[in-house]
Amino acid sequence: MARIIGLTGGIASGKSTMAKFFRDKGAAVLNVDAIAHHLSKPRRVLYKIYVQHFGEDIIQPDGTLDRQAIGRKVFTDEKERQWLNDHSHPILAHVMHQQIECMQRKNFPVIILDVPLLFEAGWDKMTEENCLVFVDEATQLERLMQRNGYTEAEARGRIAAQMPLAEKKQRADTFIDNNGSLEESFAQAEKLWKEWTHAGIS
């Protein structure tokens, strides 16, 4: 039976890079953002829910959702963000459970749940162990402003919308400190992989 590991981290922490590392090692990686994106395509369940709630002004000329417009709504209004979470998380959790069952039948050694809001959504209860990828806030700010083109205020708003790092550290079981070089982060990830697959046990 595959071990189920939760992988989480603050925005711009480098979590996706670590998820790819584990996928390359042989893990099945279930990315909740990719699932949400798939379910948000025209005529699919989240698309219908979002348009019904936010209105047709979030639809782009090509018929797809304007994710930036939705982001502006939910990251500037706590009630809207809570509404989105309340309506999307149960649907996403159901799909995640289905995909976990599917991956277990395929005999992967490890199933990684790649979830930014792992603790906030309560999905850490699906896992055996939870790994936190983290960087300091200054690094987060710099990455968000460079990668996404956010102003400092916008970047701080995105960070503030997530659970504080200190609280995540209290709830996580294992850690990848991504403040250093990529090689240092990969070395930490390699050690965890050996523990998860028992490859380092004689």
Residue 14 marked in a binding site = yes
**What does the alpha-carbon distance between residue 202 and residue 179 come to, in Å, rounded to a whole number?**
32
**What does the alpha-carbon distance between residue 178 and residue 184 come to, in Å, rounded to a whole number?**
8
CB neighbourhood size of 38 (10 A): 12
Burial of 78 (0-12, 13-18, 19+ CB in 10 A): exposed
How far does Cα 172 stand from its chain's mean position? 14
Residue 169 marked in a binding site = no
Residue 125 marked in a binding site = no
- Quick one: angle between helices 78-105 and 45-54, nearest 10? 180
Residue 16 marked in a binding site = yes
Residue 160 marked in a binding site = no
Residue 17 marked in a binding site = yes
Please give the helix or strand (H or E) that residue 190 lies within, else none: helix 182-197
- At 133, the amino acid letter reads V
**What does the alpha-carbon distance between residue 61 and residue 127 come to, in Å, rounded to a whole number?**
40
Q: What single string gives the DSSP state of each residue in 43-91?
A: TSHHHHHHHHHH-GGGB-TTSSB-HHHHHHHHSS-HHHHHHHHHHHHHH
Binding residues: 12-17
Binding residues for ATP: 12-17
